[in-house]
Amino acid sequence: MLASALHLLGHVLISTTFAFTMITNEEFSLSFRSRLNAVSVSSHVLEKATIKVRCQCGNNAFAVEVERSSPVVRCHCVRCRKFHTSAFASYLKVSRDAIPCDSTSAPVQKYLDSCNEIGPVERLSCGWCNSVLASVPAIETGGPLGGGALLALGCVEDASIPPGLAKEWAHKFEEWKKEESAKWWEAAPSGRPIRGCRAERTLRGGCACGACTFEAWSGSEFQTQHCYCNLCRRLSGSVAQTWIPVYKDGFRWTKEDKLRVVRTTKHGQRHMCTGCGGVMTIVYDDQPYTVWPCAGAIEDDSMPKAEDMSRSLCRAIHICCSMMQPWYELPEDGLPRLKYAG
């Protein structure tokens, strides 16, 4: 099973262009806004749509009927963040039957977890590529979603979302457990980094099920790169994954019961857990001295405190913005926005 999965993933190489194309905040904002503002008036009144869901390997693919009134949710709870290894989970509330978890051509991995807003949930991801598909409440009838389920937006095909709907999703969404939100997500460097031992720290992280844990020495060049590429969005099921480069010398696995390393692009591999599907690092072929742990996998209490976050950061950037999903708008945080990787 593992061998066939790895074989398949070997054919799912992502052709990412690592051109260092920099665009200014203004240029990006303008192109992004003009894309959304080009929406015709008639598409605003669309009441129903069929959106398409597709995992990274393409074997879990299905269509979902959605209504304009179907609510979009961002859950900031610690459990959703850890499972999605993202700053927050991005969901669309749909009916339970809309998620055909037993009728797709690839296996669906199920992991029993909990969301701090709605309680026990079954997390569904592609059994071959680990793309996150949905969270379904463990209580089948009634329950907090009234028999509904949460479709993960990261695997929804951009072109299948009517532009008017994408625009609504960007501005109209519920937020759950805002008080548990990741303090590193909207942090920008203050320009006066904390030097010495206060900024340097041991980051502790791991997957949602706890079968894999790691420690990473941050070094003094603490930075975050928020990536919106097709792979990061599908493997997280959300809007982005955030990466923190650290020296390989200072990185070690403290528990690796279900750890596997999977080649995910022509340039690199990711460490994932076979128990819960969580993605924990990227290792690039041409960077023998660097590991990129995922911020979403790192324990909050090993990160700088909220009040120290800006001064601890040397750099924070948004990368692969050209692949950003149409229902998300970047905050006006003043950070550089790169079309591709940086």
Segment near Zn ion (CB under 5 A); pick from 34-42, 141-149, 182-190, 231-239 = 231-239
Q: In whole angstroms, how close is the CB of 317 to Zn ion at the nearest point? A: 12
251 binds Zn ion (CB under 5 A): no
Question: Which of these ranges, 24-32, 38-46, 202-210, 327-335, lies near Zn ion under the rule CB under 5 A?
Answer: 202-210
DSSP, res 302: G
* Contact between 108 and Zn ion per CB under 5 A: no
Q: How far is the CB of 305 from Zn ion (least distance, A)?
A: 23
d(CA 240, CA 260): 22
Q: For Zn ion, which residue of 72, 229, 280, 317 counts as binding (CB under 5 A)?
A: 229
Q: How far is CA 240 from the centre of its chain?
A: 4
166 sits near Zn ion (criterion: CB under 5 A): no
- Smallest CA-to-CA distance from 181 within 311, 92, 280, 295 is with 295
Report in angstroms how near the CB of residue 244 gets to Zn ion at its nearest. Answer: 13
203 vs 212: CA distance, rounded Å: 14
Applying the rule CB under 5 A, the residues between 261 and 320 that interact with Zn ion are 273, 275-276, 278
| # residues contacting Zn ion (CB under 5 A) | 21
Structure tokens at 142: 């009634």
- Give start and end residues of each alpha helix (H) in 133-229: 163-171
Phi, psi of 211 (to 5 degrees): -75, -20
Counting contacts by CB under 5 A, is residue 321 touching Zn ion? Answer: no
- Tokens coding 18: 């690592």
Among positions 108, 126, 297, 298, the unique one binding Zn ion when judged by CB under 5 A = 126
Given strand 212-217, what is the order of strands in its sheet? Answer: 202-206, 212-217, 251-256
Cα–Cα distance, 289 to 247 (Å, whole number): 6
Return residues touching Zn ion (CB under 5 A): 55, 57, 59, 75, 77, 80, 115, 117, 126, 128-129, 207, 209, 211, 227, 229, 232, 273, 275-276, 278
